[in-house]
Amino acid sequence: MFTLKRLMEAYDHAKHISVNSQSKYIFFSDVHRGDNSLADEFAHNQNVYYHALKYYLAEGYTYIEVGDGDELWEHSKFSVIRYAHSDVFMLLRDFFDQNRFIMLYGNHNMAFKNPKHIQKHLFSFYDEYEEFFDELFPGIHVEEAVVLEHEDFPLEIFVVHGHQGDFINDQIWPIMKTLNRYFWRYFHIVGFQNPASPAKNAHKRHKIEINYSKFIETYDKMLIVGHTHRPKFPKPDELPYFNTGCCIHPRNITGLEIVDDQIALIEWRIVPDDTGTLKIIRRVIRGPRPLSDFSRK
């Protein structure tokens, strides 16, 4: 199948990273940072996301953004997105400066596949207050995929956005970008959903997830993706398919953590305490499970 071929192409060109029992990783995907307008689906979760990143920065995690971090289908200018969420980008720069930030591109920020686009928009930015150019992520390389290789037992964790082989979001993504920018962006505001998106179309999402499972069965890989926006953490008798979920749910953001050689599906959300004070909390939804459970036998 074409999806398996495209995923394997991404695997063959992936950056390989060694991990061990001391490694700490947080995976978020589909952040869809926008311009802070009514069409910006990330805006209502910005404080939750920012608070979560501060926690992971302080705790020594490496942040892997599994594609679609920025909504470049709806917004032609990255500078507008960076300005709208400048505090978030300054926090991401802290991760980058400590060599703890890995950015993957997805279908909604496919523009970062182009090295010239990366250099123009991600290496530096114009500070509107101080009126000078400052560094953002100088020299960054945006990956299509990474493979985490464990040093102590035979395990490869293949991390990719997951749009590969999805005809609408892979082969004809420029057409979908145009439709989003000039059509669906405005319909989002009044409640209409894009039927081509796997996040909004259950049948399409199910079809994509079947292809993920076929890839895992065929190539014996543990897989971490985003794209569908639906969190997934396998049961003990299921294939090692993991999905981060997304950061634009109405009430929470979800992600995957790897720490102490274990993986867990987590969420961050705002909840009131007994006095009615709103607090941002972290909660483990599934797991943790030892990574050794998924090692090749």
Average pLDDT of the chain, as a whole number:
88
Residue 170, token pair as written in the block: 């892979």
Q: Is the pLDDT reported for residue 127 higher than 80?
A: no
The confidence score (pLDDT) of residue 3 equals 79
**Looking at the DSSP assignment, which residues form a beta bridge with residue 267?**
254, 283
pTM equals: 0.90
Residue 175: burial class (beta carbons within 10 Å; 0-12, 13-18, 19+)? exposed
User: How would you label 135-170 residue by residue, b for 16+ Cβ within 10 Å and e otherwise?
Assistant: ebbeebebbbbbbbebeeeebbbbbbbbbbbbebbb
The confidence score (pLDDT) of residue 176 equals 59
Of the pLDDT bands very low, low, confident and very high (cuts 50, 70, 90), residue 2 is: confident
Q: Is the pLDDT reported for residue 201 higher than 60?
A: no
Number of domains in the chain: 1
State the average pLDDT over residues 264-279: 94
Residues 17-31 have pLDDT tens digits of 999 999 999 999 999
Residues 215-231 have pLDDT tens digits of 999 999 999 999 999 99
Of the given ranges (8-17, 50-59, 128-137, 155-164), which has the lowest mean pLDDT? 128-137
Of the given ranges (53-57, 106-110, 263-267, 281-285), which has the lowest mean pLDDT? 106-110
The confidence score (pLDDT) of residue 170 equals 53
Q: Which residue has the higher pLDDT, 250 or 240?
A: 240
State the average pLDDT over residues 53-77: 94
Of the pLDDT bands very low, low, confident and very high (cuts 50, 70, 90), residue 206 is: confident
Expressed as residue numbers, the domain containing 99 is 2-294
Q: How far from 145 is each of 13, 123, 135, 186, 222, CA to CA, in Å?
A: 8, 20, 25, 32, 13
The confidence score (pLDDT) of residue 190 equals 47
